[in-house]
Amino acid sequence: MSGLTLSAEIAAVLAESRPVVALESTLIAHGLPWPANLETARDAETAVRETGGVPATIAICNGVPTIGLSDAQIAYFARTPGIFKASRRDIGAAIGLGRNAATTVSATMALAHAAGLKVFATGGIGGAHRETSDTNPFDISADLTELARTPILVVCAGAKSILHLPRTLEILETFGVPVLGYRTDEFPAFYVSQSELPVSCRIESPQEAVAVFAEHVKLSGGGVVLAQPCPVDVAIHAEEFNTWLEKAESDARISNVRGAQLTPFLLARLTELSSGRTLKANSALVVANARLAAEVAVALARNTATS
């Protein structure tokens, strides 16, 4: 992809084949409220650096895909209302119209791959929504198709808890996307640590994740999901979460919220209903995933250097 701008730090790190971790910007502009969005973004970058990697937060700035936002740019995306939300479909529009756009998982994957990055940390991937009706039409996240075609290792806390998780896993299986459980046999469910749904493979270390990813890519595979549970001290019990979710979904139907606006509406409503507990869990799992992604990126860089 032409027209990418890499920060001086990211350009130097990539030239030296040092470990880099891609981070998304939709979390900053749409996923978390102020000031938790800025604090979480900074904490995630710090976690990557403390673990030996270099963070590359990705967004489209005035129509330019930018790999490695400055702290001032991150603060701008955190505080500015009306930032365009760009999925994979929307990258061309954001560039062509010169917009400031926060990139979703699918768009971040596409831009990270174009820049030569191989490891990406996020909170939770998108997937299949729970209902199909006139008010909530058939909705499958572009994250799943991007995972099918783009060779990036995505570290996450599974798929967002608001989604239809069995259907999401079935789609990933159909698309040939490995779902690796990091020291778990069950697919994490974002705020909820366990879903009682099996992962396709359990792995015990960053080195094992790198080995699986390398072989998958050799076989012309696309992305790989590396899912670790939400930190246990902030994880939410499924029964409690489902009560809040039913209320949030009812509110969304009453307000006729749909499409790209549904996920941020539900997440914000869940924060209110849980008295901030889901927000605390969201921030904690993002930082934990960034730290694990840095461990994977370090292992991948070492593997590359010795191969």
> Shortest CA distance to 255 belongs to which of 267, 241, 265?
265
Q: Decide if 173 is catalytic.
A: no
- Residue of 85, 118, 160, 280 with catalytic role: 160
The amino acid sitting at 56 is A
Residue 24 appears among annotated catalytic residues: yes
Sign of the torsion angle spanned by Cα atoms 242, 246, 248, 252: positive
- Per DSSP bridges, beta strands 201-203 and 153-156 are unpaired
**Residues that are catalytic:** 24, 160
